Amino acid sequence: MTKFLSALIAVPFVLFALAAPAMADPAAEKLVDDAMPFMYHSCNSVVEEGNGDVDYIEKVVRALVAVSLYNHEIDISNYAKSDADKTALRDKFVEALGKECKRDNEALLAGAIDDAVVTALSLK
């Protein structure tokens, strides 16, 4: 089972690593570099490792959200023009992420965040 999980995690990273040089996008490389140290987190582990440090949890979530938005080629300003729009979108995202993590607390956080982004922006 451990080999399966390792392969499940490693394969997307390898594919992304092969695609990254083709992109040659410094902004994308920075997003990935910032998020890479947090890719191992599950919904549960980020809370455990954060140990009550909300700033740490927020840093992890922001890094993973940035990669998700980039991967989906989403310009968030097309979805949220005003502060009220931003607040409503954040609330939708938080609700969707909560549902994803409640469904499987050991799910990879990056996947849960990606699903929550898609749900919050009504992309599915």
pTM of the model: 0.76
Measured between alpha carbons, how far is residue 45 from residues 48, 51, 121 in Å?
5, 10, 26
CA angle 93/85/118 to nearest 5° reads 30
Q: What is the rounded distance in angstroms from the CA atom of residue 121 to the CA atom of residue 124?
A: 8
Sequence ranges of the domains in the chain: 25-120
pLDDT at 19: 45
Quick check: 83 and 15 in contact, CB under 8 A? no
Contacts of 40 (CB under 8 A, 6+ apart): 9, 108
pLDDT at 27: 85
Mean pLDDT for each consecutive 10-residue tract of the chain (124 residues)? 38 41 72 93 95 94 94 89 92 95 95 95 81
Which tokens in the block code for residue 11?
């394969």
